[in-house]
Structure 1
Amino acid sequence: MIDEGSIRHAGSSEVSVAGIEAAARLFPVATVQNRYNLSDRGSEDVLEYCEHHGIGFIPWYPLAAGLLAQSDSPLQAAARRRQAASGQTALAWLLRRSPVMLPIPGTARVAHLEQNVGAAGITLSDEEFRAIDQAV
């Protein structure tokens, strides 16, 4: 489809590094969409590969926070300091985690969409980022 001009870019979903490399032999991989969030970082090697090769990384299920959603967690503490929702703060952590990160949290409500977009305006301190990162 790229060769035909039907599409300009293509990506892969739920792939390993080997899968990205195999796909790259057929087409330039623009993005990878794998499950990745604060609680599930099983695709860390894939994210690092994407960073090294300039490939966009789209985490699916990006708002899963697991134990970090509890009231005494570093995620909640950072959210309270900013008067932000925990979901916003989880998205802020993802955005800070990597320059190739492109989270697309799903929502059915405009208010929730606006809240998610607000995550781009949250800058976690180095200490907050590390505390959240190490809490899981």
Structure 2
Amino acid sequence: MEQARAVAEVATAQNRYNLTDRGSADVLEYCTRHGIGFIPWAPVAAGEPDRTGGPVDRIATTHHAAPSQMAPPWLPARSQVVRRIPGTSKVAHLEENLAAATLRLSDAESDELTAAA
């Protein structure tokens, strides 16, 4: 990031980041410190925590939502610089993404999802 910022203004970074793959947590922390937007790539991947009866499934059920809808409300709780760009080629998936935008997790639910990975 420092090398890129030495030659150009950086508005956002896009790195793989989701419930089970937080290998770019250091980039997210850097972006947070410097007010740079962070766009998580593959944000819906949940792996083992998404299994039936797991924390993602259980919390989704309490919100009458699909497990794949848990990433959109969880991500902004990680940092105020997270920006989501939902991508899809299917109308049903777009509708699911739009519905997820209205979901709000409690601090306890967000913490549980964070700890689940």
Same fold, TM-score > 0.5, yes or no: yes
Residue segments in structure 2 that go unaligned for 5+ positions in a row: none
Q: Which residue of 2 aligns with 1:16?
A: none
Separation (CA, whole Å) in 1 of partners of 2:52 and 2:76: 22
Determine the C-alpha separation between the residues in 2 that align with 1:89 and 1:51: 22
Unmatched segments (≥5 aa) in structure 1: 1-19
Q: CA deviation at 1:80?
A: 0.3
Residue 33 of structure 2 is matched in structure 1 by 52
Tell whether 2:8 aligns with 1:27. Answer: yes
* Structure 1 segments of 4+ aligned residues over 4 angstroms from their partners: none
Flag the structure with more relative contact order, 1 or 2, with Cα contacts below 8 A and sequence separation at least 6.
Answer: 2
- Is structure 2 residue 110 aligned with structure 1 residue 110? no
CA distance in 1: counterparts of 2:52 and 2:73, whole angstroms: 18
Aligned residues: 117
With normalisation by structure 1, the TM-score equals 0.81
Amino acid aligned to 2:4: A
**Superposed counterparts of 1:47-86, under 5 Å:** 47-86=28-67
1:39 corresponds to which residue? 20
* DSSP 3-state at the match of 1:57: strand
Superposition RMSD in Å: 1.1
d(CA) in 1 for partners of 2:71, 2:4: 30
Q: Which has the larger displacement, 56-65 or 104-113?
A: 104-113
Q: TM-score under structure 2 normalisation?
A: 0.93
